[in-house]
Amino acid sequence: GKAQRKISAIHILDVLVLNGTDVREQHFNQRIQLAEKFVKAVSKPSRPDMNPIRVKEVYRLEEMEKIFVRLEMKIIKGSSGTPKLSYTGRDDRHFVPMGLYIVRTVNEPWTMGFSKSFKKKFFYNKKTKDSTFDLPADSIAPFHLPSLACLSKMD
């Protein structure tokens, strides 16, 4: 529509240090929760002169269909009337996706699987052949710098 505005924002994908505390060894889900708490604490929605800070939505690989149902072709302001692939986020904001960031959450030699008989996820160690339903501490993948090949330009 005519009310579309291009807004610059700071997007958090992962967390290394928060408030001087090194959190890189914590599980990715915990780091994202800490990032959301941080954003809630420092956001200033009453200051339109400041870029908003947001934590990117996270989806598990097995939940990819949740991404695809939010994709649609839309005519975007500045696209010369040509429809572009648009994503509707959890806050009903629309944006044109420019890339996909995949985060490893399980350390080698561990893998994660889904037990059909028990209907829940499990962890399997490829070296020792051990499997467990409980999250092994040594399976937690720490924060790591992404390879530049994984990232593309984000607006």
Q: Which amino acid is at 90?
A: R
Residue-wise pLDDT tens digits, 2-33: 567 777 888 899 999 998 999 988 999 999 99
Which residue segments constitute the domains of the chain, with CATH numbers given? 8-93 (no CATH), 108-137 (2.20.70)
Q: What is the pLDDT of residue 42?
A: 92
Q: What is the pLDDT of residue 146?
A: 56
- Output b/e per residue, 39-74; b: 16+ Cβ within 10 A: eeeeeeeeeeeeeebbbeeeeeeeeeeeeeeeeeeb
Report the candidate in 140, 56, 63 with the shortest Cα–Cα distance to residue 99.
56
Q: What is the pLDDT of residue 111?
A: 92
Walk along the chain (155 residues) in steps of 10 and give the mean pLDDT of each run: 72 90 92 95 88 89 86 84 86 82 88 90 94 93 62 44
Beta bridge partners of 113: 122
Q: What is the pTM of this model?
A: 0.74
Residue-wise pLDDT tens digits, 35-46: 999 999 999 888
